[in-house]
Structure 1
């Protein structure tokens, strides 16, 4: 396919998958349960954090976690007591366990109390067209309070050559607002043009077959290559093609 044919093909797939029915089988359904901005942010961040592995398991465990938070994640973060945290000890999703979960609640409280919330931390000091340095800065803020070293593995750092798939997915959820009804688009301080594609096995394999990616590893260097090629297709909203790449890989076995 030439450039125009590839763009037309992917644009058709975006229209197919960037649709409310996509929500039914995707973890994005969890933040969609809420209307308060802070509830959406926290539910989205925690859900994205455990979004690896079987999608049904991700959704089920995210629902369990929201139940443990009283289905009011912001209120829980800001007003929890030691007994509330004790109730999180038995939460587990793969290698994310109760210790990690309790720290995440404490770190989120610190961010909302002392850093004006998640949007403010992620949007602070944007210096260029990418948010990858901002993600690294976010990790520093997130772990500025006392924590177990093991918990750091659950927040990726692009400056350590990570593609940071789950955080980039979370940012897509929060920032994109194209009236399709899938992404939530509640953050106005970041432009969709600054987002990076959530690069995983599915999107990476499809991107390689389509000639959008040549690097074999799914790392930060691969993400830069993929982002550059997606920006050539749509400089204002390159990450909309995540729907096409993911849909082709997961639903069509492309």
Structure 2
């Protein structure tokens, strides 16, 4: 850990800015699980590949990348087409897949969920929008009155209403809704529930929050995708697990 000097706030900002420069660059992601969705161009392929990469993000990065590569190869390298158009016999290619406690039973349910979801919606973003967010209103309003992500000031009634439309729910509510929606099929395997976390179970939801960052956050660096616009970057959560807490305490950000 680099030393924090006298002007503490300035030093912390400089330190964190240097870390952003170090890690938020395309050269870093070659050996990071986010390289998996970067292999695709279609929005839905990226959503599906990113979701699996986040859910399977246990252990060494090399192993995670290899297992994700194997999984997508079992889907003929076209996850969205496979999920939308597979026949029952095509699912045999998924049998035997395993990464730690995630196995083919879990995988088959994930595929079933994705198929049902994409029959109704064009994007996985809708799965994270709780009923209180009124997705139809949000999509229509934000298309008519877009609010840029980098806007520094809110100066007009249109901007104020736009921000209100964007922030009608927090991500904790969205994560709880997603888990309930994900397991809304009557025949879901009980064992699969452990792979989708929720704040309602006092989970930090680290992998889901990482996935959301990939989908929502956008800048000129090209690391995160910024595919979604009905969830705003300021709604994202950085889970405070034991490692984040340790660093935050060392930096004096929390006591």
Q: What TM-score, normalized by structure 1, do the two folds share?
A: 0.79
Compute the RMSD of aligned alpha carbons. 1.7
What do the CA deviations read for 1:7-52 (whole angstroms, capped 9, x no partner)?
Answer: 2210121112101111111000000000000000000011111011
- Whether the aligned pair in 2 keeps the contact of 1:90 and 1:98 (CA below 8 Å) is yes
Residue 141 of structure 1: aligned partner: 181
- Whether the aligned pair in 2 keeps the contact of 1:108 and 1:142 (CA below 8 Å) is no
- Whether the aligned pair in 1 keeps the contact of 2:75 and 2:93 (CA below 8 Å) is no
Q: 1:132 aligns with which of 158, 168, 172?
A: 172
Residue 92 of structure 1: aligned partner: 98
- Whether the aligned pair in 1 keeps the contact of 2:129 and 2:177 (CA below 8 Å) is no
Q: What TM-score, normalized by structure 2, do the two folds share?
A: 0.79
Aligned residues: 214
- Whether the aligned pair in 1 keeps the contact of 2:83 and 2:114 (CA below 8 Å) is yes
Q: Which has the higher Rg, Structure 1 or Structure 2?
A: 2
Q: Which runs of 5+ in 2 are unaligned?
A: 134-166
Go from structure 1 to structure 2 and tell me whether the alpha carbon gap of 1:210 and 1:128 turns closer, same or farther (over 3 Å shift).
farther
Q: Which runs of 5+ in 1 are unaligned?
A: 215-254
- Whether the aligned pair in 1 keeps the contact of 2:55 and 2:208 (CA below 8 Å) is yes
What do the CA deviations read for 1:40-70 (whole angstroms, capped 9, x no partner)?
Answer: 0000011111011111110000000010111
Go from structure 1 to structure 2 and tell me whether the alpha carbon gap of 1:213 and 1:99 turns closer, same or farther (over 3 Å shift).
farther
Q: In 2, distance between residues paired with 1:199 and 1:46?
A: 22
Residue 56 of structure 1: aligned partner: 62
Q: In 2, distance between residues paired with 1:121 and 1:24?
A: 29
Residue 124 of structure 2: aligned partner: 118
What do the CA deviations read for 1:124-168 (whole angstroms, capped 9, x no partner)?
Answer: 434556311101101111111121111010001012111000000
Residue 163 of structure 1: aligned partner: 204
